[in-house]
Chain A
Amino acid sequence: MDVFGSFTLLLAFVCAVYAFVGGIAAIKTRHPLLVKSTRQAGIATCVLIFIATFAVEYLLFSDNFSMGYVVSHSNRDLSTFYKVAALWAGQEGSLLFWSFLLSVYIISVLIVYRNKNGELMPYVGVILAGVQIFFLTLNNFVENPFKTLSIVNASGFLEPFTRQDGNGLNPLLQYPEMVIHPPNLYSGYTGFTIPFAFALAALLARYPGEKWIHLTRKWTMVAWCFQSLGILLGAHWAYAVLGWGGYWGWDPVENASLLPWLTGTAFLHSVMMQEKRGMMKVWNVWLVFCTFLLCILGTFLTRSGVVSSVHAFANSHIGPWFVGFLAVILFVCFVAYVKNRDYLKSENMLDSMISRESSFLFNNLLFLIACIAVLSGTLFPVFSEWFTNNRISVGAPFFNKIMIPIGLAILFLTGVGPLLAWRKTSVDSLKRNFGWPVIVGLIGAVAAFFLGYRDGASLLCLFLCAFVFWTIVEEFYRGAKVIKARTGMSLMMAAHELSMRNTRRYGGYVVHFGMVLVFIGLAGAAFNIEAQKAMNIGDSMKLGPYTLVLQSADTKAEKNYTAQRMIVEVLKDNKQLMLLYPEKRQFQGTEQAAGTMVAIYSTLRDDLYVVYAGMDPEANVPVIHAFLNPLVKWIWLGGVWVVMGTLLALMPNRRVALGVATVPETSTSAVAQPLTPGVTLREGHD
């Protein structure tokens, strides 16, 4: 199977090269058979990558310990569930998994558009094949997952060698979320390849700037949704497994995942400027280019060892390959832009500083500042070493100080943007639209103050959360009221009908609501408290309103690990509440042999987070480390709403029955004027 897998991967590389070279020839000659054969070569590349990926999984499931990758990341006792995840546990497997997910997108694009966009698709096919060639080069010649073990025999020759068992999977990865977090994040990273390919193809094919936007809108939203979900799942995994009481440590790998998310989010907003007003076409093209470049840069940071990280792939020799690929992409994008920029002619015109357009400009600016701040902070240790020969560390306190004001400013615009009209907003309209949200914001802040959340930044954050929440409620209420008046539906049904008639707009508001919940959760971080105590059986410790009593301890031997489990009774106001079971797991055969299983009692008010840290090496008694983290649950709930909102936005608009008028623009109706002539308006966009 290893030879079969290796051969399949090599064949995929050959097909990708044919799709690339043949695609260029097809663009030049426009020969229909050549166009068709290169498209089929693209599809064949994807299928072969699928087969190679399944070959690795087969080798993992069949415990083939003659394979280096299987030995390094699996063992006989590893459960089936984690044998699937072992594919992305190491450098070679995860790069193949990357190619696999990229191929899922590519084959979908090639099949969906097989009879459409005749002029554009050969360009798209060539660009996608180019990206595949890069990753297949790594899969075949740099980090091949099908390498077999060998030893030098007595005669001095290499001969195949099979180990009895493997080293096992890193214990930190043996957690259910670890099975779904990387696929989500990688689906985000790889998904941004599609809008990049269409944007670059449109530029190379000299399409006017608006065309590729229409084609890639949903692909971009899918990638963005996966990236958001991947980031949140990673945060939850870090929270539930690492046992340090936090969910975001500004580790370079976390930062790397945030960078394309920030530019991708900016793009999802600025694209509306292009659709509504024909503006910012150049900007949008470069935002998509930058998002893809940041995906590659993030992969480079994660896997090259250029910045120190707790994550797995930190030290390897593939960095120069990524730097080279980044340079090639940048060069191609730059040349394509310089040669064809006149086809991105924008109708840039603003009527007022106080308008939806200018709010989008500031929105994009803030996202870009956030992106550069994270990037420069992540790379600063490298720069400092270059310039001073001393590596200056940049840790979480720096990022928190820089990013909190930027985050609050973005949150502010989340509320303000939808209240501003396109073109120009009058002062009367401002007063009318801002009155109630500000009042609700103030009520929220005062309530938070009396509930004990007395920290400046947190109070401001909670004020803005209540403010934004009310702007969203008003948006739904105004629209639903009109439908209710015209159809006689209940308000709730009318709100549902409203959402289905303009899924993108109201899906966007649902995403905003999800982000409000996330921000509420983040505001709680200022009030985290913790206590650590070496405890004998029967000892207790107090944390906030809770009292923790160590009742007993036991040991359970599982197939792949032995767990030491503490049984901790939780009391609140001297009343028994529940039992928590924090564990310390000792895994067999792994290099990094210990793992924690945190016990969390989670409520909307706070999380009681209990860790069995291990035996105190000096006192030889169990150490219990407990954290009280307010409002954390809101972050995960927010994530659910973000996904639901994106799914809503991806749905097609429900057609309005004849005789029922379309719901007018509500908050933006203050200064309703005709749009710029010649601008393509798509149904349901806002």
Chain B
Amino acid sequence: MINAKRIAVLSFLLVLASSSLVIAQVGYSQRAKEIGTHLKCMCRGCDMSAGLCAHPGGAFSGPCDTAKGMLKEIDQHLAKGENQQQIIDAFVAEYGPTVYVEPPKKGFGLVAWLMPVFYSIVGFAIVIFVVRKWAVRPASSVPAGHAPAAPSDALARARAQADRDTED
């Protein structure tokens, strides 16, 4: 066990020493990383963006090979003078809309963006309507769409029964 441990330490340090003169490069530009945050890493294992892929559980906690490949591909597009939108479009053409990290603001993707706006407006309208309605009507009236209240004696009996049942 001790030998195995010693060998492991030595071999690891050997690897470090042998590469001491290497000036490592990450292999992609900062701009590619920024654009990569708009594209999903397509390794299907991490569910992160290509620009922020840390690939939890992988042997390398940085961009996984797929993400790294995508970032290098972005650099190739940048070298051709393409802008961010053109690059994203190129990836969508290659992988389909699943490569977006957020739904596109066009086609069916627009529905995702409009839904929260729609139900926020509807929700606020309903609350304002309810507040106004409750503010003007007498306390004893029945809410809209509500069934007629239980006969008051039945409700009173039920309340008395519940009081007896729930007495601490």
Contact = CB atoms under 8 A, between A and B. Distances in A.
Contact of B166 (A170, A211, A381): A211
Nearest to B159: A208
Size bracket of the B interface: 35 or more
A279 B130 CA distance: 12
Contacts of A369: 116, 119-120, 123
A215 B158 contact: no
A251 B56 CA distance: 13
A368 interface: yes
Nearest to B128: A353
B85 interface: no
Contact of B150 (A242, A345, A532): A345
Interface in B109-166: 109, 111-113, 115-116, 119-120, 123-124, 126-127, 130-132, 134-135, 137-140, 142-143, 146-150, 155, 158-159, 161-163, 165-166
A662 interface: no
Interface in A211-260: 211, 214-215, 241-245, 249, 251
A252 to B, nearest CB: 9
B135 A557 contact: no
Given A116-B168, A380-B103, A348 B134 contact: yes
B162 A207 contact: yes
Contacts of A180: none
Given A394-B102, A619-B22, A621-B19, A214 B166 contact: yes
Interface string B49-75: 100101011111110010000000000
Interface of A: 116-120, 170-172, 202, 206-208, 211, 214-215, 241-245, 249, 251, 279, 282, 308-310, 341-343, 345-353, 358, 361-362, 365, 368-369, 372-373, 376-377, 380-381, 384, 387-388, 390-398, 401-402, 532-537, 553-557, 562, 564, 584, 592-596, 611-623, 625, 676
6 contacts: A244-B56, A343-B155, A537-B20, A555-B5, A611-B61, A613-B60
A468 B107 CA distance: 41
A362 B158 contact: no
B103 A119 contact: no
B89 interface: no
Nearest to A387: B108
B166 A117 contact: yes
B62 A614 contact: yes
A350 B135 contact: yes
Given A343-B150, A365-B124, A372-B119, A532 B166 contact: no
Contacts of B90: none
A588 to B, nearest CB: 12
A249 B101 CA distance: 12
A338 B37 CA distance: 49
Contacts of B137: 349
A612 B21 CA distance: 20
A343 B25 CA distance: 71
A613 B147 CA distance: 63
Nearest to A338: B147
A592 B57 CA distance: 6
Given A342-B150, A373-B116, A534-B24, A392 B48 contact: no
A309 B47 contact: yes
A563 to B, nearest CB: 10
Contacts of A554: 9, 12
B54 A242 contact: yes
A621 B54 contact: no
A117 B131 contact: no
Contacts of A202: 162
A392 B108 contact: yes
A15 to B, nearest CB: 26
B26 interface: yes
Contacts of B44: 308
B53 to A, nearest CB: 8
A44 to B, nearest CB: 25
B9 to A, nearest CB: 5
A557 B5 contact: yes
A202 B97 CA distance: 48
A206 B59 contact: no
A596 B98 contact: no
B46 interface: yes
B56 A557 contact: no
Given A116-B167, A384-B97, A396-B49, 10 more contacts: A119-B165, A310-B46, A353-B132, A353-B135, A365-B126, A395-B47, A395-B102, A401-B102, A557-B1, A594-B58
B40 A395 contact: yes
Nearest to A594: B59
Contact of A349 (B45, B46, B54, B138): B138
A623 B161 contact: no
Given A391-B97, A532-B62, A623 B24 contact: yes
A172 B150 CA distance: 56
B62 A625 contact: yes
